[in-house]
Chain A
């Protein structure tokens, strides 16, 4: 009654694609968070001097990610950088991620009351000590939900790298659809995998948030 030519190897192929999606997300978040932290602090501490930085980062939020991938990929061949498609994908996603992360960190740092920083400085902490022990831990709690949302949205945006020829989850399922011609089944499995990945990230985020609340 219910027959399918979907084989176990197809599932393995899709899971390998899901692994690529996860790796891309991880690299993008690493690049994005590291630079987002630096840029966000700059934006919070020197708001006027770093205004051009925010205009620049705004460009990455106002141009479709697909176009950014294509542009950087062609720049890659024009300049003869010879990066792999995966590296290009990571970099573009990383910059995209940084542009959002900067705003998240900036609002987190600005949410720390200036009284607290002044009190820390009066107690004799240096500027960097204040940052390290007072401002960043407090800002982290404010920024964390936004950061988790960013992880989720970047994980979904990784699906766009199929256009520059990386085989991730969606591309893998498309390949299988082309072979066995059962789009509904295969796409539902892909959707389910995406859903599970997003759900577990959201779940972990909620757990960390809960743990942090106990210390407040």
Chain B
């Protein structure tokens, strides 16, 4: 069954490690940017969902359902090839960031909605009757409590964002971790070695994010 006629060349592959670490940095950066924009948009979508205007409500529910019911790769594709059809030639990095942001915003909005239910309506009413504006109420009363509830799903989403950046390779991104790995792969055809190192790096990034999130939660959410 097994006929191993293959010599692993780990030494050659390990020489690519500095470049791959640089690629990891791009990966993390991309994920962080998409996450930050994702959070802001998701907060907007969550507020819109509670709005009275049916147009706003419709817009946010369409966004959420498209983001959640189609593959992330599809979303990146449509931004990359679709915008190109209108003569807007976006770079593959931009398409990747925009695609992941779109996806993150959809998933996070759903999480926020769940979190929002946990903030009692009476608190908002109390804040408003104390003379706070709607914006102040959200910023000072609702969002801090919301963040506490959605922190754990958010750190999960961050890991997913990192894993999703690997899709950039499909639209031709070549400086993130997967992109760098693939360029070494096509030069040498040592597919297994390079991608195994990439897998280890991705695992390390994911674990670092979880660890950071734990530490942050411990620091931020102490009463």
Say whether A and B bind each other: yes
Known contacts A62-B202, A64-B178, A65-B163, A183 near B70 by CB under 8 Å: no
A67-B198, A78-B4, A184-B85 as given contacts; A159 in contact with B74, CB under 8 Å: yes
B202, A71: Cβ atoms closer than 8 Å: no
A:60-81 near B, CB below 8 Å: 62-68, 70-71, 73-75, 78-81
- Report which of B6, B77, B159, B202 forms a contact with A170, defined as CB distance below 8 A: B77
Residue A19 lies at the interface, judged by CB distance under 8 Å to chain B:
no
On whether the beta carbons of A156 and B70 are closer than 8 Å, the reply is yes
User: How many Å lie between the Cα of A163 and that of B171 in the bound state?
Assistant: 11
Q: How many A-B residue pairs have CB under 8 A?
A: 107
Q: Is the CB of A81 within 8 A of B70?
A: no
Beyond A74-B191, A78-B192, is A195–B70 a contact (Cβ under 8 Å)? yes
B54 CB-CB contact with A under 8 Å: no
Q: B184-211 CB contact bits vs A (8 Å, 1 = yes)? A: 0000000110011011001100110000
Indicate if A162 sits at the interface (CB-CB under 8 A): yes
Is B69 a contact of A194 with CB atoms below 8 Å?
yes
Q: Is B118 an interface residue (CB 8 A)?
A: no
CA distance A198 to B74 in the complex (A): 14
Bound together, the chains give a CA A61 to CA B24 distance in angstroms of 18
B66 within 8 A of partner (CB): yes
Give the interface residue-count category, chain B. 35 or more
**Neighbour of A198 across the interface among B3, B69, B191, B195, CB < 8 A:** B69
Contacts of A156 in B (CB 8 A): 69-72
Tell me the interface secondary structure of chain B in the complex: helix
Which residue in chain B gives the minimum CB-CB distance to A186? B81
* Contact partners of B169 in chain A: CB under 8 A: 66, 163
Q: Which listed residue, B2, B71, B199, touches A157 by the CB 8 Å rule?
A: B71
Does B121 have its Cβ within 8 Å of any Cβ on chain A?
no
Contact B73 A160 (CB under 8 A): yes
Q: Does B78 contact A (CB under 8 A)?
A: yes
7 closest A-B pairs by CB: A64-B166, A183-B81, A62-B206, A74-B191, A156-B71, A159-B71, A198-B69
